[in-house]
Amino acid sequence: MPHSHGSQGCCAYHRSHLTRHHKEPIVATTSSFTEGASVFGGLANLKTALENIFTIYEPDIVSVHTTCLSEVIGDDIPTIVKKSEEAGIIPEGKMVIHANTPSFVGSHVTGFSVQCAAFVNYLAESNGAKKNVINIFPGWVEPADMRELKRIAELLGVEYILAPDTSDVLDSALDGEYKMYPDGGTTVSQLKAMGDSLATLALGPMASALAAEKLTKKCKVDHSILELPIGISATDAFVNALRIAGDVTVPRELEKERGRLVDMVSDMSQYLHRKKVAIFGDPDHLTPMIKFLVEVGMQPAVVVTGTKGKKWAQNIREICSEANPEVEVVPFSDIHYLHQWIKANPVDLLMGNTYGKYVAKSENLPFVRFGFPILDRVGHRAFPLLGYAGGLRLIEKITDAFFDKRDREDPDHEIELVL
């Protein structure tokens, strides 16, 4: 059970937001701070919360995170948990873990990363006997993407532990029965066993590096940090890393998938070549996506992220150095800036989360929803963007966006049947 240690508004907001993105139940508890607790500390609130949660909702683990409120007042979660243990509030065999997640530092991805590291801190352990298993930290991606990562690992015949894994949690079946703790999710024993794996692949440096580094330090599991496998070369890098770490051969089936993606890129090249793209989102999503845009012949024109990152920006400029040396890369900025930039420097395509639709509408731009959150479409949770299969979907989405606009706007005598 995720538990938000702060006033309840945060918890209501993040549950609503994730629900709107996934169209799925998002359950979490909160300490429900009042003014008194905000001044004198949230010990009593958390203790009461834990008693209620374990009695009413019976989770195996309560995973506590904080808000700006409890961070500013300086609540010491481990001490509160210890006191709760002493008071007999935490039942036998159950656990409370925690991550400090001050909202005035970084972004939601920082929180994700700290939470992944907390799983390692509290759970991963090493028995000294290495098993032929590869850990995969998937980063901030969709349940469909996690499913795709597992499919690729299974195609390669690699034993793996994927953590976290929201497939079958955030895309569960509707069959008349509500399960507060759905079938999916990385199990506690898997999280513990990560310490005995041969190696870790951490996908997306911002989301996954911290946990992978902790695991190396704690249990001496070697790790490599990779980009999220979006597009051809980033997926190649992932498949190759998995091949080497697992000491396996890439099956013909996966090579064919790769070839089908290259084939589609070649088929559609005339529509993609030198098209200018404005794109915004989280750094981990943007880096491989921009690589892919360059691979298919497009020109990233303006790249904006809300996250700080000078080094990251430099890296993006290098990726674009040949395709568009003039690329505008702006970390710690916003969609308003992006919109103003586009007004002065027209582009052919906009990519980003749902909030981009207002810019797309006002500038009449083809728009591909990409990243988080997507609040007004459903495909993101059902179909992957990762892997070669995800690449096929991205090319489909980009060309659909171009063609829909063209079909809508071309004068009757110029409408093409075949494209």
Partner 1 sequence: MGDGPSAAETREKMLEVYPKKTQRKRGKQMLVNETPETPAAIGANSRTVPGIITQRGCSYAGCKGVVIGPIYDILHITHGPIGCGWYSWLSRRNMTKIRHPEETNYLQYSMSTDMQEDHIVFGGEKQLEQAIQEAYDEFKPKAISVYATCPVGLIGDDIHAVCRKMKEKLGINIFGFSCEGYKGVSQSAGHHIANNGVFKHMIGLDDTPVEAKYKLNVLGEYNIGGDAWEIDRILRLCGIHIIGTLSGGVSYDEICNCHNADLNVVMCHRSINYMAEMMEQKFGIPWFKVNFIGIEGTKKSLRKIAKYFGDKELIDRVEEVIAMEMVDVRPVIADVTTRTKGKKAALFVGGSRAHHYQDLFSDMGMKTIAAGYEFAHRDDYEGRDVLPSIKIDADSRNIEELDVKADPERFNLRKTQERKVALEESGFDFSDYEGMMRQMAKDTLVIDDISHHELEKLIELHKPDVIGSGIKDKYVIEKMGVPCKQLHSYDYGGPYAGFKGAINFFKEIDRMISSKVWKLTRAPWKDDSDSQSTAAKEPVAVS
By rule CB under 8 A, what string of x and - marks binding of each residue 299-338 to partner 1?
-------x-----------------------------x--
Q: How far is the CB of 53 from partner 1 (least distance, A)?
A: 4
Rounded to an integer, what distance in angstroms lies between the CA atom of residue 359 and that of residue 362? 5
Residue 110 found at the interface with partner 1 (CB under 8 A) = no
Segment contacting partner 1 (CB under 8 A): 96-104, 125-133, 364-372, 377-385?
96-104
Residue 174 found at the interface with partner 1 (CB under 8 A) = yes
Rounded to an integer, what distance in angstroms lies between the CA atom of residue 164 and that of residue 149? 12
Among residues 88, 93, 128, 176, the one that binds partner 1 under rule CB under 8 A: 176
Which 351-410 residues touch partner 1, going by CB under 8 A? 355, 358
Q: Containing H/E element for 280?
A: strand 276-280
Q: Which is nearer to partner 1, 160 or 312 (CB)?
A: 312
| Sheet strands (E) in 85-235 | 95-99, 131-137, 160-162, 197-203, 222-226
C-beta separation of 322 from 245 below 8 A: no
Q: Is 320 a residue of the active site?
A: no
Burial of 110 per CB tally in 10 Å (0-12, 13-18, 19+): middle
3-state class (DSSP) for residue 262: helix
Among residues 178, 325, 416, 417, the one that binds partner 1 under rule CB under 8 A: 178
Residue 83 found at the interface with partner 1 (CB under 8 A) = no
Residue 69 found at the interface with partner 1 (CB under 8 A) = yes
Q: Which is nearer to partner 1, 31 or 235 (CB)?
A: 31
Residue 16 found at the interface with partner 1 (CB under 8 A) = yes
The greatest distance separating any two alpha carbons of the chain, rounded to the nearest whole angstrom, comes to: 80
3-state class (DSSP) for residue 358: helix
By rule CB under 8 A, what string of x and - marks binding of each residue 19-58 to partner 1?
xx--xxxxxxxxxxxxxxxx------xx-xxxxxx-xxx-
Q: Could you tell me the CA-to-CA distances from 48 to 5, 13, 97 in Å, in that order?
A: 12, 22, 16
Gyration radius from the chain CA atoms:
23
C-beta separation of 211 from 137 below 8 A: yes
With CB under 8 A, what is the number of residues at the site for partner 1?
62
Angle between helical axes of 143-156 and 387-409 (0-180°, round to 10): 130
Residue 184 found at the interface with partner 1 (CB under 8 A) = no
Q: Is 68 a residue of the active site?
A: yes
Catalytic residue annotation? 68, 72
Binding-site ranges for partner 1 (CB under 8 A) = 3, 6-10, 12-17, 19-20, 23-38, 45-46, 48-53, 55-57, 67-69, 72-73, 102-105, 107, 172, 174-179, 306, 336, 355, 358
